[in-house]
Amino acid sequence: MPRRASDSVPDTFLAEIREQPEALRRLVDARADVEVVAEALARRGVEVVRLVAHGSSDAAASYGVYVFGLLPGWTAFRDSISLSTYYRAELDFSRSAVIALSQSGETPDVVSYLRAARERGALTVAVTNEPRSALAEAAEWTLQLHAGDERAVAATKTLLNTFAVLALLAGVAAGRGDELADALRTTADRIAAALPGLEEAVAPIATTFAYVGRMYVIGRGIEFGTAREIALKLTETCRIAAEPLTSTDLSHGPIAALDAMFPVWAIASRDECLPALVAAAALARNAGATLVATGNAAEEVPDAEFCLPVPEAPRAVLAPLLSLIPGQLFAAALARAKGLDAAQPAGLTKVTLAQ
């Protein structure tokens, strides 16, 4: 009988999921760097935050839009890299901060965008796990992720810490740095406590889903970045065509594709967006889709066949850091069930190259 990839290769991806609480604690211990950057933003009188990234880092950028809006009340958005690097649009960066996210720090067009923005007057910040990278060299300021060596191509530690550093920067900018730092430490403790039970819970679900070739992942508001990241993890590690959708987007066309062979992963957090998420999940269930409910309000999603609740976050704005964990563990378990090596997906490398 032939050996599967998962039988012969150590599960680096799963090991790095388990290392995330300690990586998060290291990041919080280095919060002095975040305070320096927040002071620079205040001195410059920044009015707009432009976030640029690809892949998992771009999912973190989606989260950043919300933390900067909810904590310091800043306008933040995911900017178009193509406008600057390909179309050469003459944009006004004079009152902008550019936060460029790249775990490797070597994504070519992210580096190019940052350089152009700096030349045009933006305050530039690199968020990366590699302080000697091209991105860090191009930026005025660098926030290191302190995730440690991440060997798996599919990001886990670096992604969680990218979410966390954006929340911490937004918290410091809002004058709530101590509160956010304490909350992040508590979040690390809750992730560590939840990991063993969640890891056990996802295994039988993954076996059930070994046939799945497509899936929607729905979230709303602050959890949309989570939905984007979980969909990406399922795509790159498990060869599932997973698409992230807001709960409202689901009803605008995509719901027509649902049937019993097209499951939906619903991320339910106890916040103002929960009613919209629950309503979307009900539409999916009525269309015949199998529902997997996750998040701290997972048990409030009616008729979900599978439920993977996570602990409450110490602050609602940090809920996505906990909501990410079941998706990561599910991807690891499903890849193993399919005989795939989640740490080294076929055709992928750690650095996203420009196309």
What's the CATH code of the domain at 128? 3.40.50.10490
Confidence grade of residue 318 (pLDDT, cut at 50, 70, 90) = very high
* Cα–Cα dist 165/143, whole Å: 8
Shared domain check, 240 and 115: no
In 120-272, which ranges are continuous DSSP H helix?
Answer: 134-138, 157-173, 177-208, 224-238, 247-250
Beta bridge partners of 52: 100
Shared domain check, 109 and 211: no
**What pLDDT sits at residue 252?**
87
**What pLDDT sits at residue 355?**
44
**What pLDDT sits at residue 344?**
78
**Alpha-carbon dihedral of residues 106, 112, 118, 119, nearest 10 degrees?**
140
What is the average per-residue pLDDT within 146-170? 96
DSSP string, 311-326: PPPSSGGGHHHHHHHH
Domain-embedded: residue 349: no
User: Is residue 325 scored above 80 in pLDDT?
Assistant: yes
What is the average per-residue pLDDT within 75-99? 92
Average pLDDT, the chain: 93
Shared domain check, 63 and 169: yes
User: Is residue 258 scored above 60 in pLDDT?
Assistant: yes
Shared domain check, 82 and 62: yes
pLDDT in tens, 169-185: 999 999 999 999 999 99
75-84, 119-128, 267-276, 341-350: segment of lowest average pLDDT: 341-350
What is the average per-residue pLDDT within 21-41? 97
Shared domain check, 172 and 293: no
* Cα–Cα dist 218/10, whole Å: 31
Which range of residues forms the domain containing residue 256?
A: 188-337
User: Is residue 237 scored above 50 in pLDDT?
Assistant: yes
**What pLDDT sits at residue 348?**
67
Higher pLDDT, 320 or 91: 320
User: Is residue 9 scored above 50 in pLDDT?
Assistant: no
Domain-embedded: residue 350: no
Domain-embedded: residue 343: no
Whether 194 contacts 311, CB under 8 Å: yes
**What pLDDT sits at residue 352?**
60
What is the average per-residue pLDDT within 261-274? 96
| Helix orientation angle between 177-208 and 157-173, rounded to the nearest 10 degrees | 150
Distance from first CA to last CA of the chain, Å, rounded?
Answer: 41
User: pLDDT > 70: what percent of the chain?
Assistant: 95
Confidence grade of residue 6 (pLDDT, cut at 50, 70, 90) = very low
Shared domain check, 281 and 320: yes
Domain-embedded: residue 122: yes
Chain-centre distance for alpha carbon 192: 18
Shared domain check, 165 and 42: yes
Domain-embedded: residue 218: yes
Chain-centre distance for alpha carbon 239: 19
Domain-terminating residue out of 131, 159, 184: 184
User: pLDDT > 90: what percent of the chain?
Assistant: 85
pTM: 0.94
